[in-house]
Amino acid sequence: MTTYVLRRVLLMVPTLFVIASITFVLMRLAPGGPFMSEKEIPAQAKAELLQRYGLDRPLHEQYVAFLKNTLRLDFGPSYKYPDRQVRDIIFDGFRVSAELGAWALVLALLVGVPIGTIAAVRQNRPADHAAMFLALAGVSIPNFVLGPAFVLAFALTLLWLPAGLWTGPASRILPVLALSLSYIAYIARLTRAGMLEVLRQDYIRTARAKGLAERVVVVKHALKLGILPVVSYLGPAAARIIMGSIVIEQIFAIPGLGRYLVVGAINRDYTLVMGVVLFYASFLLVLNLLVDLAYSWLDPRVELA
C-alpha cells in the first residue's frame, strides 16, 4: 500500500508539469491580453504594467519564472485583482465551491443510493420504472436549465427562498438542489446496476436460504459490493461537481472558485487562470488516489498495482 501511494504521488509530478506547460502555452496563444480594454491604455502606462508583471521579458524566461513560482506555490498577484494574491483567491474561492460541492455530493449519495437500491430490489416493477424515469430526466436536464427554473419557481413566484448570493442556510438550498440532481440520477443508475449484479451472486442466495430478513441481506451483505461502481464514480464526480459548479455559481452569484476562473479567462488573467487550473488538476489527482484506496478497502479482491 505504501509503495503504491508513493508511486502515485511521484507520477503526479510529471502530470502536473505537463498540465502547467499546456496551460501556459494556451493562455499565451489566446487572442488578447490582460491589459486590453475598450479604451486604449496609454503606451507608457501599458509598458509599465508589462514590466511590473514581467510580461516584457522573453517568453521562455516567463515560462521558467512561472515554473519556479509554481514550485513555491506562489502564483503572484492577479491581474484583475492586483491587490490580491492568486493563492489567497484560490483559498477563499475554494472554500465556497467546496462547501457547495460537498452539500450537493452528500445529497446525491443520500438520495441516489436508496433510489438505486429500491429499483434493484424491485426490478421491473412500478417502483423500478418510476425511479429510472426520474433518473433519466435528471440526467437529461442540464443544471443551467434547472437553476433559472428553480429561481423562477421558488424565489420569484412562491417567494420561499432567496434567488442568489451565499449569505445563509436558505441561500444554499436552490444552488445545491440544482447542482445535485444530475448526480442523484447518475448515482441511482450506478447503484441499481451494481446491486442487480450482486443480488444474483451465490452468497446472497445463501444468506436468503439461512432465513435472514431481506433488509439484512440487502443492507448488510449486498450493498457493500453493490455500491462499488458508485465509489469508482465518486472521485471524478467530486472533481466534476466542484468544477461543474461554475455555471451554478454564475446563476446564483456565488463567490466560488469557478466564478473566478470564468472572470480570469475572460480578462486573460494569466496568473489566476493558471493557478486555478493547476489547483483543480492537483485536486482531481488526489481524489482519484483516495477513491482507488477506498475501492481496495471495500473489495479486498482488488489489488493495487
Residue-level pLDDT at 18 = 92
CA 240 to CA 247: how far, in whole Å? Answer: 12
**Mapped to the 3 state alphabet, what secondary structure does 109-144 carry?**
HHHHHHHHHHHHHCCCCHHHHHHHHHHHHHHHCCHH
Residue-level pLDDT at 37 = 63
- The answer to the question of residue 45 being in a domain is no
- The answer to the question of residue 62 being in a domain is no
* CATH code of 186's domain: 1.10.3720.10
Range of the domain at 275: 89-298
Q: What are phi and psi of 6, to 5 degrees?
A: -60, -40
Chain CA centroid to CA 217, Å: 33
- The answer to the question of residue 20 being in a domain is no
- The answer to the question of residue 30 being in a domain is no
pLDDT band at 149 (very low <50, low <70, confident <90, very high): very high
- The answer to the question of residue 272 being in a domain is yes
By the 8 A CB rule, do 271 and 77 touch? Answer: yes
Residue-level pLDDT at 6 = 85
Residue-level pLDDT at 113 = 92
pLDDT band at 293 (very low <50, low <70, confident <90, very high): confident
Residue-level pLDDT at 7 = 85
pLDDT band at 281 (very low <50, low <70, confident <90, very high): confident
* Grid-cell match 464514480, residue found: 233
Burial-class residue 2 by CB neighbours within 10 Å (0-12, 13-18, 19+).
exposed
- pLDDT for residue 286 is more than 80: yes
- The answer to the question of residue 38 being in a domain is no
% of the chain surpassing 90 pLDDT: 20
Domain count, the chain: 1
The tens digit of pLDDT for each residue in 117-131 reads 999 988 889 999 999
Residue-level pLDDT at 115 = 93
The tens digit of pLDDT for each residue in 62-82 reads 898 888 888 888 888 888 888
Residue-level pLDDT at 302 = 56
What mean pLDDT value characterizes the chain?
A: 85
Question: What region does 268 belong to: left with phi over 0, alpha with psi -120 to 50, or beta?
Answer: left
- The answer to the question of residue 146 being in a domain is yes
- pLDDT for residue 87 is more than 70: yes
- The answer to the question of residue 79 being in a domain is no
